[in-house]
Structure 1
Amino acid sequence: MRVTTAPLQPELDRIVAAGAGAVIAEVRWDGHTTRLASGVIELGRPRRAPVNGRFRIGGVTESFTATVVLQLVAEGRLGLDDPLGAHLPNPAADITVRHLLGHTSGLPEHPGPAPRRRARDLADLTVMFAPGTRYAPSGTGYRLLGMVIEEVTGRPYTREITDRIIKPLKLTATRTPTSSTAINGPHAHGYLMTGGRPRDVTRLDPTAAGAAGGVMSTAADLNTFFHALLTGGLLPPAELTLMKTPGVGGAYGLGLEIADTPCGTAYGHRGAILGYSTLSFHSADADRQLSLSMTAYDDAAHAALRAAFTTGFWS
């Protein structure tokens, strides 16, 4: 089925009207690339949102982290069924690397360790269910995977993501988390509704989100990353297949979300971090791609985003 971007601009406009400062998107299909935007850089000011704007990608970071972990698996330096305790001083012996990647570890979603807290500081976390029996998203698990990368390689996980993914793919607008609270380059401001009005929360320290949500990027860079991933440019076939294979619950593999669309199965990830929501999904052959950032301050904008995803692009 051929895709057209014609219905997408009105969908982006509806998202803004429903309660978002801006929406930025890049669509790639049949060899064509279209960049779209709606809304403004900053509420109350007339400057339009930039189509090349940078944004915090939140949980989409997990796909970057998972790719590095699976590269280490392919290199024989790490095992998917290695217990967590084999790499980190943590007593959760039943939790494996596979459990962490697939969000089946039983670890709770947690406000996140400070940048340099180690696994031993997470020892008091209560496992909610037996590992491997249920799917429950856990940023804690991916922050632990960042620590596993560091233990295996002897280098910061940020350096591994940069050297293995960002530099080879020339993702020039993508940055791993640092202590800087600013978004360098063109960007729309992020907002949080407090006291009945949107408050600017653009500046924040992303290091607490770490390997679970701290990366900054653009729609173009995300499309480039997922195209390389899904077409075999970052992982051998066996590891890519594992990444795309649904686990417990049927909608998540090892670092990739799996979505049924009118045009077939799509792979990618959603993400949210204070002020920013991201959606990046792609056909299996990466010939059809959509990456989108929204700075929503009203829940109605999220419903409008879901409509844009299903009817504006995949129908």
Structure 2
Amino acid sequence: MTTSKIAALGLRKMFSDRVPGLRRRAGVAAVAATLVAGVAVAPSAHAADTAHAAHAARGGVPGASAGQERPELQEALQAFVDAGLGGVQLRLKDERGEWVGSAGVRRLGSPAKPPTNGRTWVGSVTKTFTATVVLQLVAEGKLKLDASVAGYLPRLGLDRRITVRMLLRHTSGLFNYTGETYNGVSQPGLPAVGKDWVENRFRSYRPEQLVQFALSKPLVFAPGTDQNYSNTNYTVALLLIEKLTGRSYAEEMQRRIIRPLRLTGTSVPGNRTQLPGPHAHGYYRYQDAGEWKVVDVTRQNLSLLAGAGDMISTTQDLQTFITALMTGKLLPAPLLAEMREPHGKMGYGLGLFVQDLGPACGGTFYQHNGSPPGGYGALMYSTADGSKTLTASITTGDADIDLLKDFPVALGKLLNATLCTSAS
């Protein structure tokens, strides 16, 4: 597979919590428009070696840790900053050990780098956590993948054709409450982009409110006949978890994943708006009455994305989680296999994207990237055996970024320098 395809695949749904189709230079909220399009220009096959030699000549790898210098990785991080993003934190585990580094700034106006394991809003990476808990309930016999969701949640008024499996692989046809784009036609949803989101970013939502809003719209397609990414699916999954366990989603996440794996930097914040502990600041650029404005959106209320994109985590915790998941510590082998089985035009399993990058890049990777409405992005990749993982946090600054050109180049360079290299 070509490196440009790698970058295109890596872009898919990174910022999938919002509505595509915004202006080309509308800040990171517009990245969604580039993700599905797959426009990407990756560096040449020798870029990593060239970068390594050039950086070695300049001496050292500032910002890196974990006991080894890998200047090609630091330069890949710097490419995001050079493209106009605020900062990036990276954690890579491969056959050479672990490498941790950061680039950019923690906060605009300050020279301090982002913390290498700072707290971050992880957006749709949350979906993999949610899917894992749902599949644990399947393993316990409390839920059946091909049963009608309406049988478990009769009060919602869901179409009886919608199954649990359809929720987890985005084939239910449920309208996406943050805004829907299907077959080139866009429909607005709850405030999730631009000035509307900025003015409503501290608003609290209940999961039932989000689902009822989605159900006030017609199905996008008949259940099971197509595939289209929808946050609604995973908020319904949250309600399933709560109904079948008798506990809140946050309690079940703590009990089943966060506490057993000792994910000390991970939480389900509910209506809390503050990132606890060390963190980098994220910014949002938007238009107001024809004037461009920038606002610090580090504080935001992600009850808007309950079960679908509301979690806080760190690069270390994401690495621990995806490694545990891939090595069978969270699910029995048959259900893990189903989770990793790609389906439809999105190549989406049950809470995971499946990407075959070819033998030169280590074969198949399992990933879920994400972002809340503004300020932050997260990356999470792993091989099937968990031996190679990449987790990252990206924050935005105040630059006027040409996202269709610059962001794919930076991401392509990062994926080339990490997933498509080996010790040989």
Q: Please tell me the TM-score bracket, short chain as reference.
A: over 0.9
Aligned positions, number: 313
1:71 matches 2:176: no
Residues 294 and 121 of structure 1: CA distance in aligned 2, closer, same or farther (over 3 Å): closer
1:28 to 67, 81, 93: 93
Indicate the SS of the match to 1:107.
coil
Query: Map of 1:1-315 to 2, 5 A cutoff?
Result: 5-30=70-95, 32-88=97-153, 89=155, 90-111=157-178, 114-117=205-208, 119=211, 122-194=214-286, 195-249=291-345, 251-261=347-357, 262-273=361-372, 274-297=374-397, 298=401, 299=403, 302-315=407-420
Q: Deviations over 1:36-72 (max 9, x none)?
A: 1001111121121110111000000000000000000
State the distance in 2 between where 1:51 and 1:73 align: 36
Q: Kindly, what percent of the aligned residue pairs are identical?
A: 39
C-alpha deviation, 1:242, in angstroms: 0.5
State the distance in 2 between where 1:301 and 1:155 align: 44
State the distance in 2 between where 1:177 and 1:295 align: 19
C-alpha deviation, 1:122, in angstroms: 4.3
Q: Deviations over 1:200-259 (max 9, x none)?
A: 111111122110000000001000000000000000001000000011125110011112
Structure 2 length-normalised TM: 0.70
C-alpha deviation, 1:193, in angstroms: 1.2
Indicate the SS of the match to 2:228.
coil
State the distance in 2 between where 1:284 and 1:203 align: 35
Contact 2:168 2:234 in 1 (8 A): yes
Residues 5 and 210 of structure 1: CA distance in aligned 2, closer, same or farther (over 3 Å): farther
Whichever residue aligns with residue 109 of structure 1, its letter is N
Whichever residue aligns with residue 205 of structure 2, its letter is A
C-alpha deviation, 1:271, in angstroms: 0.4
Contact 1:5 1:313 in 2 (8 A): no
Structure 1 alignment gaps of length 5 or more:
none
Indicate the SS of the match to 2:369.
strand
Across the aligned residues of Structure 1 and Structure 2, the Cα RMSD in angstroms comes to 1.9
State the distance in 2 between where 1:302 and 1:157 align: 34
Residues 44 and 241 of structure 1: CA distance in aligned 2, closer, same or farther (over 3 Å): same
State the distance in 1 between where 2:158 and 2:412 align: 44
State the distance in 1 between where 2:126 and 2:310 align: 7
Whichever residue aligns with residue 204 of structure 1, its letter is Q
Structure 2 alignment gaps of length 5 or more:
1-68, 179-189, 191-203
State the distance in 1 between where 2:99 and 2:148 align: 44
State the distance in 2 between where 1:81 and 1:116 align: 23
Comparing 208-217 and 253-262, the one that deviates more: 253-262
C-alpha deviation, 1:157, in angstroms: 1.1
Whichever residue aligns with residue 105 of structure 2, its letter is V
State the distance in 1 between where 2:237 and 2:293 align: 37
Contact 2:326 2:385 in 1 (8 A): yes
Instruction: Indicate the residue corresponding to 2:5 in structure 1.
Output: none
Give 1 or 2 for the bigger CA radius of gyration. Answer: 2
State the distance in 2 between where 1:162 and 1:260 align: 32
Residues 258 and 41 of structure 1: CA distance in aligned 2, closer, same or farther (over 3 Å): same
Indicate the SS of the match to 1:117.
helix
State the distance in 2 between where 1:72 and 1:99 align: 16
C-alpha deviation, 1:11, in angstroms: 1.1
State the distance in 1 between where 2:238 and 2:273 align: 21
Whichever residue aligns with residue 362 of structure 2, its letter is C
Q: Which has the higher strand share?
A: 1
Whichever residue aligns with residue 267 of structure 1, its letter is Y
Structure 1 length-normalised TM: 0.94
